[in-house]
Structure 1
Amino acid sequence: MILVDTSVWINYLRDGNHRLERLLLDGDVVCHNNIIGELACGNIKNRKEIISLLQSLPLIKDVEFQEFLYFIEQNQLSGKGIGFVDIHLLASAKLEQLPLWTEDKRLKTAAKVLDLDYKTKR
């Protein structure tokens, strides 16, 4: 199972992605409520259908706020240029021991440091 970040979904919805299509067909993609929320805030075609399909994917657990704060401190993530949602995704992926596939440079760097980067997990 792989947690697919908003950046990958945006590129997929715009241009397609054969690797993501294969992962979806194989049932290897999980989602997170924050990813659905970020996409819901955007301007996407077939909005209701896309949001509904994302909600039908298995969802990984979100971390509690205190766990979130602890995760930042333990992994020295403050001041790294990644935000609230990104750190939530990292913490949830770490908790579930799942790789995170992202095309966001700063998030990818943090995922690599935490041994969560999808491309290094293949």
Structure 2
Amino acid sequence: MSQEFSPDPVKNRARHTLLTKLAANTTNPAAAELARELLAGNVTPRGVLSSTSYADLLAGSTSGFTEWYGNLSESEKDAQAEAGRNALSQLASDDKPAPSRRRRQDSVDDEDFSEVDWLDG
């Protein structure tokens, strides 16, 4: 079962696209495995963050991002935020509505991410 990450089809497609690219990454097998597990619905984003299984991977990535972002000027940060908004707008203009899938209601372990917005901070 493929994981649905957002009720917004544009954001959901952006997340799937990002995770699909990450899953094909041959230079970082741990990141690729994490992406495949997320795409398959075998692990949730919250489960990743609360588990120690991917702690080293996340710590390294978070540290690199924090350093990069911390070195940006305010105008560069604004430009990066604008680039992100533009990318989402582009996805929205290219978006073709996908068929809606109904979530199984019989599983207690299914976690609803419809209210979680990973892209907006």
TM-score for both structures, normalised by structure 2: 0.27
Whichever of the two has the greater Rg, that structure is 2
Q: Which has the higher contact order (CA 8 A, sep 6+)?
A: 2
